[in-house]
Chains A and B, each alone.
Chain A
């Protein structure tokens, strides 16, 4: 005898919203010759007001928002470029707290609200060069890293700044396949960190950061390869010793501590001489320090950049 129990589940409860929305989008786009692909994505971001301009901005053509938000290396959410946009949607970034600690006179703990109020927000349109030989132009919003560091008052022992990303296995289950260790860690020399180009970003395209781009709070170091610009920061530690960095731990011969953009020093497995600007067809030549040599070359005066790659 079969007793049928009426199902008390609705379809919306068994099918994740993202899945059926994707299905609808897929149907819609295939019906329209596969061409109607620019369905606006739901944005979980909020508009940022009172954002100033910056003389450091480039006037190059800005990369489309959809490309910046669907072509990400954020291995905690998967290693495919599209994975972060698919998997980071439910990432909880509020509440959030960031600790500034170590060799500082005044250790600081910032909550989400305080993160936006360290210094006046400004838009910085930067070139972004990935170690994989592609690049973008991104209108970041944030303030100089040195504004935060100055508030903490580094001691005379502070020589390096170590950064750590948020990591939570439950929120980032795809991270276990990344092949690199988490939490993601990065670092800068103190003088690099104090350079006015080093930016702490809280937004892009006039809005707060989408999760896949490192919400709520990330580093942007435009003269270095993208992996130096650590995402979703929870800890900033000033210290005397050079901190370990994630990609250097994973493959020391391929990714150095400095990782300055440099067309003359190839990655062991591929050339760094050229790059593909995302959404452009042909390749362009890569410029040393990603074109920011005037501001940062002096930091490395007398250093062998082939050895300190």
Chain B
């Protein structure tokens, strides 16, 4: 399995797979573009703008959760090569988040800066969504190997823990948006909780060891 995961082709295939949601959306919009809008389309519903907004938002949260499950799966399944996919998956989360934001900026607010600022301040679900996106931004920028070197791995890793808060803000954004049927936001929240509980367990288990490792004694012994 690790050999398959090491292959260039597997990575290319995963990349293509991550593009499927976008291609599917493009395909649906293509039909619309060719035929013209008839007022209703079974694929895009009667409100295509709402559909595109929800669709891209859904995939943003999904990719955030997929990215966050790489490390637990890597450890639990003993597949170290899974780590190769983490950056790509994270960048796809950012990509779909960017599309989601663009839909809002363009098709909901029509580039009106006054309206946008008002919404971000006044509407808590938009505040949360904007927070989720803002937290992803530095991660996308510093995702290159060059940035890992420049920052040093420890610091780079600390910064990239922002993804936990981004995912949390994303789930809250969704939860605050729905009217009464909270099943999906709760499902995403539940998955996030499990992924975080796994990490907390590992951290707690490692914590005493780390403390030991940084105590002068240990340093001495290691020397």
The distance in angstroms between the C-alpha atoms of A220 and B31, with both chains bound, is 35
Tell me if A64 and B43 are in contact (CB < 8 A): no
Tell me if B40 and A178 are in contact (CB < 8 A): no
* A276-B49 in contact given A34-B31, A177-B181 (Cβ < 8 Å): yes
Which residues on the A side are within 8 Å of B40 (C-beta)?
Answer: 38, 64, 66-67, 70-71, 279
* A180-B180 in contact given A70-B40, A81-B47 (Cβ < 8 Å): yes
Residue of A nearest to B32 (CB): A35
Which residues on the A side are within 8 Å of B50 (C-beta)?
Answer: 134, 276
Tell me if A70 and B47 are in contact (CB < 8 A): no
* A79-B34 in contact given A279-B39, A279-B40 (Cβ < 8 Å): no
Which residues on the B side are within 8 Å of A67 (C-beta)?
Answer: 39-40, 46
- Which of the listed residues B32, B42, B177, B182 has the most CB atoms from chain A within 10 Å of its own CB? B42
A271 at the interface (CB under 8 A from B): yes
B residues 34-92 near A (Cβ < 8 Å) are: 34-35, 37-43, 45-47, 49-50
Tell me if B123 and A34 are in contact (CB < 8 A): no
* B45 in complex: contacting residue of A39, A63, A70, CB < 8 Å: A70
A58 at the interface (CB under 8 A from B): no
* A38-B38 in contact given A179-B181, A270-B123, A282-B110 (Cβ < 8 Å): yes
Count of interface residues, chain B, beta-carbon cutoff 8 Å: 32
Residue of B nearest to A63 (CB): B39
Residue of A nearest to B51 (CB): A81
Tell me if B46 and A269 are in contact (CB < 8 A): no
Tell me if B39 and A64 are in contact (CB < 8 A): yes
Tell me if A271 and B181 are in contact (CB < 8 A): no
Which residues on the A side are within 8 Å of B124 (C-beta)?
Answer: 269
B205 at the interface (CB under 8 A from A): no
B203 at the interface (CB under 8 A from A): no
Which residues on the B side are within 8 Å of A282 (C-beta)?
Answer: 110
Which residues on the B side are within 8 Å of A283 (C-beta)?
Answer: 110
B28 at the interface (CB under 8 A from A): yes
B213 at the interface (CB under 8 A from A): no
* B31 in complex: contacting residue of A37, A82, A276, CB < 8 Å: A37
Which residues on the A side are within 8 Å of B181 (C-beta)?
Answer: 75, 79, 177-179
The distance in angstroms between the C-alpha atoms of A251 and B182, with both chains bound, is 14
Residue of B nearest to A26 (CB): B42
B27 at the interface (CB under 8 A from A): yes
The distance in angstroms between the C-alpha atoms of A82 and B180, with both chains bound, is 16
Which residues on the B side are within 8 Å of A180 (C-beta)?
Answer: 180
* B43 in complex: contacting residue of A37, A177, A179, A270, CB < 8 Å: A37
The distance in angstroms between the C-alpha atoms of A179 and B180, with both chains bound, is 5
Which residues on the B side are within 8 Å of A70 (C-beta)?
Answer: 40, 42, 45-46
Q: What string of 1s and 0s marks CB contacts (under 8 Å) between B130-141 and chain A?
A: 000000000000
Excluding A82-B45, A179-B182, 11 further A-B contacts by CB distance (< 8 Å) are A35-B31, A37-B31, A37-B35, A37-B41, A64-B40, A66-B40, A79-B180, A177-B181, A179-B180, A269-B124, A279-B37
* A interface residue numbers (CB < 8 A to B): 25, 29, 33-35, 37-39, 63-64, 66-67, 70-71, 75, 79, 81-82, 132, 134, 177-180, 250-251, 269-271, 276, 278-279, 281-283
> What are the 8 tightest A-B residue pairs by CB atom distance, in nearest-first order?
A64-B39, A179-B180, A66-B40, A67-B46, A71-B46, A35-B31, A79-B181, A34-B31
